[in-house]
Structure 1
Amino acid sequence: MTITSEPDRATAQAWAALGGAPELAGRVRYRGAPGLGQGPLPVRELARATVGVCGLAAAELAAVRAGGGAGDAAPPVVDEGAVATAFVSERQLRVRGREPVNFAPLSGFWRAADGWLRTHANYPHHEAALVRALRLPSATPEAVRAAVAGLAAVEVQERVYREGGLAVAVAREYGDPRPLVEAVRVPGAPGRTWGPAPAGLPAAGVRVLDLTRVIAGPVATRTLGLLGADVLRIDRPGSAEAADTYADTGFGKRSALLDLAAAPDRAVFEGLLAEADVVVSGYRPGALERYGLGAAELLERRPGLVVAELCAWGWEGPWAGRRGFDSLVQAGYGIAARYAGPDGTPGVLPAQALDHGTGYLVAAGVLRALAEGGGRGLRFSLAGTASWLVREVPAAGPAAPGYAAQPWLRASDSGYGRLRHAASPFGEWPSGPSRWGTDRAAWLPR
């Protein structure tokens, strides 16, 4: 089994974006056979680099908690087979032997009068919005195909967004550059020091308030949970997560429901916030500000917090406030066109790499911020990860053959029954997830 000895350029780029000491990036070592294919963009290199910097950040925090410095971080070794399997965890999932539903019938690419369109209608309210916007006679692929064929792609995009749905015209060129990470230190924040952590659990004792949905944010928080954090996810009643999605990303955390517009639930939330060390938010810019829970407001109230925010389209520009998913960002950022087939039909990355890659970057950013005492605001976006992929991530050369997913598949009991699932690149979860929204809204004892 070969272990790389040269510093990996993509790892060095990601580590620098996270503010890590440059000399540490070369400590990450990769082994094993990758399995994300050799397409036109360096997805394999992005995947292993994001996992690599997460492992390095975990090692850095462990070293600091042991009384040393960042330079004492143990060199992490990342298996590329584990990375490849984890990056398609939603495809590897089996729930009581059943394959998951990853895309609904009305989610996909559609030929418009002047190009192509990508829709996302996995949630019932998004499907209903698509049906309203296009005045469909029925919620069927045939009806969508007929309606879109006679319209300009951007016209459909805007109609659907006005109705509260999700559709994006497939861009032929790459989108504007976006930063991979944005970080703001809080002046005068009280530095937090952590005592020694149990072996393999550098985030033990850290309380993480998880306000994320779908893939990128939940990947970040399930990773922090595996590394020892007490992760409590909070959702609003009535906005149910898809069961298969939570069965995949609910490892390493608990899940409770609170209505922030209701005074009793808001009081419970404020109590949780008062004892949290980290807040991870996956809502679009401006969504939490109406509750007084924007990052700036949280850091003003609690200067020692680590607040990590992620969104789809970036934090500036006309699309900053729009909802989005990995598949839509691939379409709108020019990646889908880059992967087009011979007949011009847009294609996709071999994994939802913007989601998974951003998730590991978020976890890495949180771990680094904890190692430096907290008091940090961090911003990430799927578009930022896309920008890095298409402009900066270098190809690492031919990949070693021999990848197989089987060594990285596990079986666990869960609130959804017996699961077959992908292992984490960082170890084993002790148990499967509970059912979404069924846990108590309270922290575990430290």
Structure 2
Amino acid sequence: MADTEDAATAHAWAALGGRARLVRRVSFQEAGPVLPSRLPVRELARACVGVSSLAAAELLALRNRLPVPAVRVDEAAVATAFVSERRLRIDGRAPTSFAPLSGFWRTTDGWVRTHANYPHHRARLLGALGIADTGGDREPVGVLAKELASRQAREVQETVYAAGGLAVAVASAPAAAGPALVETPQVTEGGHRSPAPASLPAQGVRVLDLTRVIAGPVATRSLALLGADVLRVDTPRIPEDPDAHADTGPGKRSTLLDLTSTGDRHVFEDLLGRADVVVTGYRPGALDRHGLSPEVLLAKRPGLIVAQLCAWGWSGPWAGRRGFDSLVQAGTGIASIEAGPDGRPGALPAQALDHGTGYLLGAAVLRALSDRLTTGGGRHLRLSLAGTASWLLHDIRPAQETAGTYDPGHWLTETGSPYGLLRHALPPVHYTGAPANWDRAPTRWGTDAPSWA
């Protein structure tokens, strides 16, 4: 058990605005060489879970007027949770992580990384490059490889981006320091809440979850574990991978609303009018056309906490671009650092930018809830995968190697669900008295009523 203050945890806690002395409440149960990488992924992962756990402990203590309970971060639990989508089994079946057209491809001057897991991204990628979509993958893989091998990486990147697809030239060196880890651009007056005793930190907190894929859903999955009433709202126009929802849906409910429909918009506004937290996972400005900018949301509901997540940061030429963990790894130089002996770009041992940012986002919401109880006011919070990547590349130092044998099986459990029998990772967020598992299995995506519990 490591009892000395962890530098990465202290850095993240300071970025969240937490009191420095509380970091001493966090200890670590080491598990040997977990999440092995050239970069300090283990240190990032345990710090992100550590501050999420500490923020939960702080809020619980504040609500009950008690001392902050101790936090213990088990590195084995963290390592298992950071690859939860890979550990998941549904009736014994392993989900598919990446589609055949998602990956690294040679170009005339280097490499490009594509992302085509969703049908619309696949169609845009192939269309941008003039490749016929036959509906299968075997033929397009060969044709795509040949086409990309005849082009320059940045040409591919810009051509595919212009068509609404996803491709990023692999950076050959680490990017310069990027966005801040956590930004709080706006604090509003009003909305002061008196602490109400609770058995869980976020008990009674209503969270409107407007996120997709991994990072945002990981954040709201943690909030659900800690007692929040989390309602995920998606458009019926964009499909979701059911395996992804089976992984990130525990503890939540899920509904579909078309915000261009008058009836659905009325329902959404009613939900918004009683929400405590809104979490979004779209690129900057994407929700503004629906009247859902942070400024509008905070004006409508004083005291609201608006927590935003994006891929590339909130300013600069890439701010408005779509992105995923694998693409940010490619664009920031991480993929080159993790390259194999043959020079082929590599990847971190987990989608650590997604999972890490998810736990940080959850921690930011919990800290904002604590601040609202003490000083009042709403909060606007911003995080990004690029900010987490910059932290990993420039600010985290490797910790001393530890001995031990990592057994992920100890941190997996089985839960019945509408999807079938799930074998899934247990939550790594832990403080004295924390729940050991979610109180409900994931429901099927989009099948719940659009109402608060």
Report the Cα distance in structure 2 between the residues aligned to 1:214 and 1:114, rounded to whole angstroms: 31
Aligned to 2:378: 375
Partner of 1:372: helix, strand, or coil? helix
Q: Deviations over 1:139-162 (max 9, x none)?
A: 521111000001000111111111
> TM-score, structure 1 length as denominator?
0.96
The Cα shift of 1:372 comes to 1.1
Contact 1:183 1:377 in 2 (8 A): yes
Report the Cα distance in structure 2 between the residues aligned to 1:443 and 1:144, rounded to whole angstroms: 46
Contact 1:279 1:308 in 2 (8 A): yes
The Cα shift of 1:227 comes to 0.3
Report the Cα distance in structure 2 between the residues aligned to 1:368 and 1:37, rounded to whole angstroms: 27
Report the Cα distance in structure 2 between the residues aligned to 1:369 and 1:184, rounded to whole angstroms: 13
Aligned to 2:117: 122
Contact 2:35 2:79 in 1 (8 A): no
Report the Cα distance in structure 1 between the residues aligned to 2:93 and 2:36, rounded to whole angstroms: 29
Task: Say yes or no: does 1:389 pair with 2:405.
Answer: no
Residue of structure 1 aligned with 2:412, choices 397, 409, 422:
409
Contact 1:137 1:143 in 2 (8 A): no
Q: Which moved more, 1:187-196 or 1:154-163?
A: 187-196
Task: Say yes or no: does 1:438 pair with 2:436.
Answer: no
Contact 1:35 1:81 in 2 (8 A): no
The Cα shift of 1:67 comes to 2.2
Instruction: Rate the CA distance shift 1:301–1:44 in 2: closer, same or farther, 3 A.
Output: same
Contact 1:34 1:44 in 2 (8 A): no
Contact 2:188 2:303 in 1 (8 A): no
* Runs of 4+ off more than 6 Å: none
Equivalence map 1:418-437=2 (5 Å): 418-426=421-429, 427-437=436-446
The Cα shift of 1:34 comes to 4.9
Q: What percent identity do the matched residue pairs reach?
A: 60
Residue of structure 2 aligned with 1:64, choices 44, 62, 65:
62
Aligned to 1:145: 145
What is the one-letter code of the residue matched to 2:81? A
The Cα shift of 1:193 comes to 2.4
Aligned to 2:36: 38
Residue of structure 2 aligned with 1:24, choices 22, 25, 39:
22
The Cα shift of 1:263 comes to 0.5
What is the one-letter code of the residue matched to 1:157? Q
Task: Say yes or no: does 1:83 pair with 2:78.
Answer: yes
What is the one-letter code of the residue matched to 1:128? A
Contact 2:32 2:401 in 1 (8 A): no
Q: Deviations over 1:66-113 (max 9, x none)?
A: 125xxx211211111000000000000111111101100000000000
Aligned to 2:6: 8
Give 5+ residue unaligned stretches, structure 1.
none
Report the Cα distance in structure 1 between the residues aligned to 2:90 and 2:316, rounded to whole angstroms: 40
Q: Which moved more, 1:368-377 or 1:218-227?
A: 368-377
Aligned to 1:158: 158
Aligned to 1:195: 196
What is the one-letter code of the residue matched to 1:32? E
Aligned to 1:398: 401
Instruction: Rate the CA distance shift 1:363–1:272 in 2: closer, same or farther, 3 A.
Output: same
- CA-based RMSD of the aligned residues comes to 1.1
Q: Deviations over 1:174-193 (max 9, x none)?
A: 22321000013424233222
Equivalence map 1:180-259=2 (5 Å): 180-198=181-199, 201-259=200-258
Report the Cα distance in structure 2 between the residues aligned to 1:417 and 1:206, rounded to whole angstroms: 29
Q: Which moved more, 1:228-237 or 1:367-376?
A: 367-376
The Cα shift of 1:35 comes to 5.3
The Cα shift of 1:429 comes to 1.3
What is the one-letter code of the residue matched to 2:91? R
Aligned to 1:109: 104
Q: Deviations over 1:231-261 (max 9, x none)?
A: 0000001211111111111111000000001
Equivalence map 1:260-299=2 (5 Å): 260-299=259-298
Partner of 2:209: helix, strand, or coil? strand
What is the one-letter code of the residue matched to 1:381? S
Contact 2:36 2:349 in 1 (8 A): no
Report the Cα distance in structure 1 between the residues aligned to 2:124 and 2:383, rounded to whole angstroms: 28
Contact 2:188 2:379 in 1 (8 A): no
Report the Cα distance in structure 2 between the residues aligned to 1:229 and 1:218, rounded to whole angstroms: 13
Report the Cα distance in structure 1 between the residues aligned to 2:331 and 2:344, rounded to whole angstroms: 15
